[in-house]
Amino acid sequence: MVNFFNLSLTELVSYLESKGHKSFRARQLWKWVYQKSILNIDEMSDLSKDFKLKLPEYFSWHLPKILKHWLSKDGTLKFLLSTDDGLQFESVLIPSRGRLTICVSSEVGCNLACDFCFTGKQKLKRRLVTSEIVGQVFLLRQFLFARPEILYDLLKLTGQKLFVDAPGQPKNQKIWLEQNKSNNPDFLKDIVQWQANLHAHAPTNNIVFMGMGEPLDNEDNVFKSILILKEQLGFNYSGKKITLSTAGLVDKIPLVAKSGVRLAVSLNASNDKIRSSIMPINKKWNIEALLNSCSEYVKKTGELVTFEYVLLKGITDSVESADQLYSLTKRVPCKINLIPFNPHPGSSYKTPSQSSIDKFHQRLYKKGAQVLLRRKMGSDIYAACGQLTSLNNQME
């Protein structure tokens, strides 16, 4: 018996063929699970009775469990999940203009020990397996359908306009959701059901591997998960809608190019001395090696690299650091995301003043950098960049 959620579609086809079944059965089963979120075998109406009877012998359907969730004042949702062996980790739903992003974790804890990161303060407990990574996407999307009032509010925050079949109206008559909000639960239920039929799941249109752990330290499970997320018969995420963020495992960055997803690099300093003091990985692969690898990624994919830069008061936020950062990154087609430090329990680092943040931002902008100041999302529930943990005591 195997866990269904650990299999790619190719592996599922091979597995069922080894049991004497035709390949189309694998595709049917895949669609029921990943397109329709149906795990009840009795509801899989186009499967033969004999095939259904065999499925409990072939598969387990283990997914993580959602233990708790928290809703930020800005609409961010943080989830605490548990694995079968009792380990805990976090995932986040982030609304922003035009999109709803799922931030997934790849490990419980982290080996890299970045000094400013709350996850980095924990030792690595275990790498998540494929079912636990894919399961985050599956479960968070299911959650939205079970809570249509939350889904509706998130859609408003993202500014997405959805056409719906209005209850009681002819089948193809569309009306704007925003013009027809009702406190009637049946109305919201019908809206969600329509959206489910059209898109298979809630309109989560971006995936970022920016949660707990270093994705490239768990490459086998992460890249199989990406394969499952991109499968057209299932979730059908475009590679352009999936971003993998790394602290700089230079030897594995070519795998990101091969996978067809976008690359983000946690740079966070403009020279090796500072970067090595806050990110031990820099002692193995320095900035020069990292930038060379990023240049190769751009050559192979034609995509920009995103450099993430955490602004730490008195350490990485000076105008001189901005000048150095521009000089470093101008050789790589890129955009720069500036992230003001998000405080967490026990940290000695501070967030720069708004004036310092603005000066840093403007310095890069005036030099011609493609630079974005990341909006702080979810910090009141410890869901922002660098705040995720498996300790689950910062919210108590």
Q: Is 385 among the catalytic positions?
A: yes
Which member of 110, 114, 117, 385 is catalytic? 385
Contact between 316 and 269 under an 8 Å Cβ cutoff? The reply is yes
Residues 6+ apart with CB under 8 A from 84: 62, 64
Closest by CA position to 277, among listed 115, 109, 122, 112: 115
User: Which residue has 């809608």 as its token pair?
Assistant: 241
- Beta-sheet pairing, 371-373 with 334-340: parallel
How is the chain split among helix, strand and coil, in percent rounded to 5? 45, 20, 40
Q: Which of 317, 327, 391, 381 is nearest to 354 (CA)?
A: 317
**Could you tell me how many residues make up the chain?**
396
Catalytic residue among 90, 107, 214, 303: 90
Q: Can you tell me the distance from the alpha carbon of 294 to that of 288, in angstroms, rounded to the nearest whole number? A: 10
Please, what is the angle between helix 319-329 and helix 354-367, to 10°? Answer: 30
The DSSP annotation for 70-129 comes to EE-TTS-EEEEEE-TTS-EEEEEEEEETTEEEEE---EES-SS--TT-TGGGSPP-EEPP
- What distances in angstroms separate CA 278 from CA 25, 93, 313, 362, 372, one per listed residue? 51, 28, 13, 25, 22
90 in catalytic set? yes
Extract the tokens encoding 335: 């955009």
**Catalytic site positions:** 90, 385
